[in-house]
Amino acid sequence: MPDENPVPQTPAAPPAAAPSGRPPGGRPAGPHRRGKRQFLRKKKVCRFCVEKVDLIDYKKADVLQSFIQERGKILPRRMTGTCARHQRWLTVAIKRAQNIALLPFSAEL
Amino acid sequence: MEERLYDLIFILRPDTPEAEIDKIIATLQHAVEEKHAKVEKVEKWGTRRMAYRVKKLREGFYVYMVLRSSHGELLKELERRLRVSDAVIKYLTIRLDEEVKRKEKLGRRRERRAARRPKKAAPAAAGAEQTAAANG
């Protein structure tokens, strides 16, 4: 399923309550749901919408950093919760940053 | 032709002497002014680690400029200069005016909405009170 094993670097925004807490805590009391259900539960909010960003700056490599995987791949929307519009802008920003060596195209080992 | 906004970033070899850096920036500025364009900002970000090796180097001296020009030709000229300069290992020009315009548009829209919403909310609340009073 898509939401499992989030990459370690998933942006800080919502995943606070994310899977890491799951194994020890077990499923919380309440309706007997399957484990899978709980993954679908957590609501992710687009970080850029929350901050009302109208222009994603490709120069802020530290911000963009949190939206790429360790090896440099751009994280999909389903991982980060970014809305479609902001994801569109985000990819452009990341690609620009890559071109001027602020972000890696592919991190070396 | 309307004016366009550009970002220009270039990376120099980290061992480039300070004087040389200033000289490069000065010649670029000169070229810009020759075409009746404006340099809005020049920032020296200094030596920083690059995300990958460029010309076998891991670090580079970043210089960031913001330009406003109505001649696309100018950018071509600047890029040519950067390309032939030995100290420059990488450069990037980005046209930004359309995005900035979009940003401003969205900002205006947000303001308008913010201005409208409280007005809308207030009468509704007042109306609710009235009906409550009428019922009570």
pLDDT of residue A24: 46
Confirm if B8 and B76 have CB atoms less than 8 A apart: no
- pLDDT tens across B17-76, in order? 999 999 999 999 999 998 889 999 999 999 999 999 999 999 999 999 999 998 888 999
Buried residues in A48-57 as b, exposed as e (16+ CB within 10 A): beeeebbbbe
Contact flag A98-B107 (C-beta cutoff 8 Å): no
Query: Is pLDDT of A105 > 60?
Result: yes
* Least confident piece of the model among A38-52, A55-69, B97-111: A38-52
Sign of CA pseudo-dihedral B121, B123, B128, B133: positive
| Sequence-separated (6 or more) residues with CB below 8 Å from residue B129 | none
CA distances from B12 to A37, A102, B31, B86 (A): 53, 14, 19, 9
> Please, which pLDDT band fits residue B3 given cuts at 50, 70 and 90?
confident
Q: Retrieve residue B46's tokens.
A: 């200094």
Query: Is pLDDT of B127 > 60?
Result: no
> Please, which pLDDT band fits residue A43 given cuts at 50, 70 and 90?
confident
pLDDT of residue B20: 92
Confirm if B59 and B47 have CB atoms less than 8 A apart: yes
Q: What percentage of chain B has pLDDT greater than the value 90?
A: 60
Contact flag B102-A55 (C-beta cutoff 8 Å): yes
- Residues of chain B in contact with residue A96, where contact means CB-CB under 8 angstroms, are 92, 94
Q: Where are the alpha helices (DSSP H) in chain B?
A: 18-34, 72-84, 97-135
B66 touches chain A (CB under 8 A): no
- Residues of chain A in contact with residue B107, where contact means CB-CB under 8 angstroms, are 54
SS3 A2: coil
* Least confident piece of the model among A26-30, B66-70, B97-101: A26-30
Cα(B64)–Cα(B62) distance, integer angstroms:
7
Q: Retrieve residue B122's tokens.
A: 């207030």
Q: Closest chain A residue to B106 measured between Cα atoms? A: A54
pLDDT of residue B114: 87
- Long-range CB contacts for residues A62-71, cutoff 8 Å, separation at least 24: A64/A90, A64/A93, A64/A94, A64/A97, A64/A102, A64/A103, A65/A103, A66/A9, A66/A11, A66/A12, A67/A11, A67/A94, A68/A9, A68/A94, A68/A103, A69/A7, A69/A9, A70/A7, A70/A8, A70/A9, A70/A107, A71/A106, A71/A107
| Sequence-separated (6 or more) residues with CB below 8 Å from residue A93 | A56, A57, A58, A64
Contact flag A54-B103 (C-beta cutoff 8 Å): yes
Alpha-carbon distance B11 to nearest alpha carbon in chain A (angstroms): 8
ipTM value for the complex: 0.77
* Least confident piece of the model among A42-56, B44-58, B118-132: B118-132
SS3 B65: strand
Mean pLDDT of chain A: 74
